[in-house]
Amino acid sequence: MGVIILPLTLVAAWILGLAGVPAPGAPDGAAWDVLVLHWTLFLPVGIIFIVSAFMHTALARRTAAGIGWHTNGFQYELGFVSLGLGLAGIWATYQTSDAWIAVAIPTAVFLVLAGLYHVVGIVRDGNYAPGNTIILISDFGTPVTLWAMLAAVGAL
């Protein structure tokens, strides 16, 4: 049931930011919206995408089964792009708004379209595997958080 960790990191980013816990790369005394943005770039984008890279490559069969899929070559490609997004998320945490936006664009496009594909799997195939349903919280929640916080901090 490791898939629950993904939405929990998004919740953690919000809790840490709202509680005023200093975030990686955030200036001292940063406002809650800056902290939520930094925690989101660091946790659900950075760390989780790096973990996703490992899961979709080193643990490909197990990960595919948790989604209700079969392992195939594209899953490894997903792992490779996840590694890139994760590293970019961590890097952007320590940069300025241009980097935040540059990471938010591919992250949001990927997650929203992946989420829509998971919805298709639910409707068309009846795939209610936890990896195909619980993931929707992250697939839609992370992009919404990124863009809402980018707007809140005046980066857009």
* pLDDT number for residue 68: 76
Sign of CA dihedral 5, 18, 20, 29: positive
* pLDDT number for residue 9: 96
* pLDDT number for residue 63: 74
* pLDDT number for residue 67: 74
pLDDT tens digit string along 75-127? Answer: 888 899 999 999 999 999 999 999 999 999 999 999 999 999 999 999 999 99
CA angle 69, 74, 79 (to 5 degrees): 95
pLDDT tens digit string along 39-80? Answer: 999 999 999 999 989 988 888 788 777 777 777 777 888 899
Rounded distance, CA 113 to CA 29, Å?
Answer: 36
Please tell me the pTM assigned to this model.
Answer: 0.91
Domain ranges for the chain: 2-152
Place of tokens 């997004």: 85
Q: Hey, what are 133's tokens? A: 């349903």
Q: Hey, what are 142's tokens? A: 């992370």
Helix orientation angle between 48-57 and 5-18, rounded to the nearest 10 degrees: 170
Of 2, 12, 122, 22, whose CA–CA distance to 62 is shortest?
2
pLDDT band per the 50, 70, 90 thresholds, residue 148: very high
**pLDDT over 80 (residue 1):** no
